[in-house]
Homo-oligomer: A and B are copies of this chain.
Amino acid sequence: MLFTRSILTLFLVRHLSESTASEKQRATAEMVAKAAHVSRVAVSRAFNPSASIKAEKRERILKIASELNYTPDRAARALVTRRSHLVGVIVPDVCSPWESQEIDALTTALQAEGFATLLFKTRIDLSMDETLLTYMKGFNLDSIIAYAENVTPETLSRVLDRAVPIYVTYDQWEAADNDDTGLLYDRLNVHQHEGIEQAVALLHGYGVKKLAYLTGKAQSRANTARLTTLRKVMAARGMAAPIICEGDFSYDCAHAAVLDLFKFGEKPDAIFAANDEGAFGALDALRFELGLRVPEDVKVIGFDDINQSHWRSYNLTTVKVDLDLRIKSLIRLILRRLKQPDAPPMIEHVPTRLVVRGTVG
């Protein structure tokens, strides 16, 4: 079998470019190297966006390759090198502002490293379709980043032979999971504690007595971790436990939930929203429907610091997770894992901090 495999490999490298050729005849990498007066390796480097090579040299090689109609077949290379240069990203919802900012920054950073981003969406309840998971396996992904927190490491590792998934976790909440399962996955750990501590300190300093927490989706671990940390921080300050106001991360649900809260429930003097979009819904409900002033009557804090938070109509005080740091950390995890496939679980940490605008004081 080994002998057959190596013969096959040789066949693949030499003939595959021909078997997938269009009508025109295709050149080989050797032909390009000869015509360009460079080494075979230089031709490889010219076609790899992340390999370092003088721009002028790369341009010249690509030009000659184009004239000779040569192109490295990525599918063939994947089979030979076992690298697909594809990074999978599993999201529940691309167009929510927070996720789309992440995907945008991630796509740019990955492209610079020679990877392309393959997007997968989960079901509305954040779980994944079995068929889809199996289908993903066929893409031979180099790495996979899971934002969809209901996709457990067990589920993902069943379908990803080679790729070690990266999970975004919050505070130290999931340390136990990691130890129990014995499955290999890497982690980007977001330290929500600092930012939430600063937010509560500010509210406490402004004399807030009755804080309501406007939740995100119930199944979201980010949401659960946020609430757990918030309770701890408030208890440590001797503050009363937060009132729970149920949202689902969306503007519309937040708007309705806050209306209900003020019409039929306890009236808080501050609202800490699980995310910025929810905070916007809360702000608009307070100002337009309830005729209350922010921050004078009710203070509002969000979470994420998405781009829209600085829009003058919202001017939202919020907890920020540095997007640049996050992305750099994810890229580091991806590259280190590819270099050391058998290393023990890796972890990167990302801090949070409060961004003060106009909705608290």
Contacts and interface: CB of A to CB of B under 8 A. Distances in A.
Interface of A: 1, 4-5, 8-9, 11, 15-16, 18-20, 22, 46-49, 58-59, 62, 65-66, 71-79, 82, 84, 86, 93-95, 97, 100-101, 103-105, 107-108, 111, 114, 116-121, 129-132, 134-140, 158-159, 161-162, 251, 255, 280-281, 283-285, 287-289, 307-308, 311-314
Contacts of A136: 116
Among A22, A47, A100, A287, chain B packs the most CB atoms within 10 A around the CB of: A100
7 tightest A-B contacts by CB?
A74-B138, A100-B100, A95-B104, A94-B104, A284-B312, A313-B313, A95-B100
A75 B84 contact: yes
A10 B142 CA distance: 27
A134 B62 contact: yes
B75 A79 contact: yes
Contacts of A79: 16, 19-20, 75-76
Nearest to A116: B118
11 contacts: A20-B79, A49-B131, A49-B132, A58-B131, A73-B140, A75-B138, A76-B79, A95-B104, A97-B100, A251-B311, A284-B312
Contact of A137 (B71, B284, B311): B71
Given A62-B131, A75-B140, A311-B284, A100 B111 contact: no
B104 A93 contact: yes
A94 to B, nearest CB: 4
A93 B280 CA distance: 23
A101 B100 CA distance: 9
Contacts of A162: 22
Given A5-B18, A8-B15, A73 B119 contact: no
What copy number does this chain have within its complex?
2
Contacts of A62: 130-131, 134
Nearest to A161: B22
Contacts of A111: 120-121, 132
A15 B5 CA distance: 8
A308 B307 contact: no
A43 to B, nearest CB: 12
A15 B4 contact: yes
Given A59-B130, A75-B138, 18 more contacts: A5-B18, A9-B19, A19-B79, A20-B82, A20-B140, A22-B162, A49-B135, A72-B138, A75-B139, A95-B103, A95-B105, A100-B100, A104-B121, A111-B121, A116-B136, A280-B311, A283-B313, A287-B313
A87 to B, nearest CB: 10
A121 B48 CA distance: 17
Contacts of A71: 134, 137-138, 159
Contacts of A86: 118
Contacts of A114: 135
Contacts of A311: 251, 280-281, 284
A100 B107 contact: no
A167 to B, nearest CB: 21
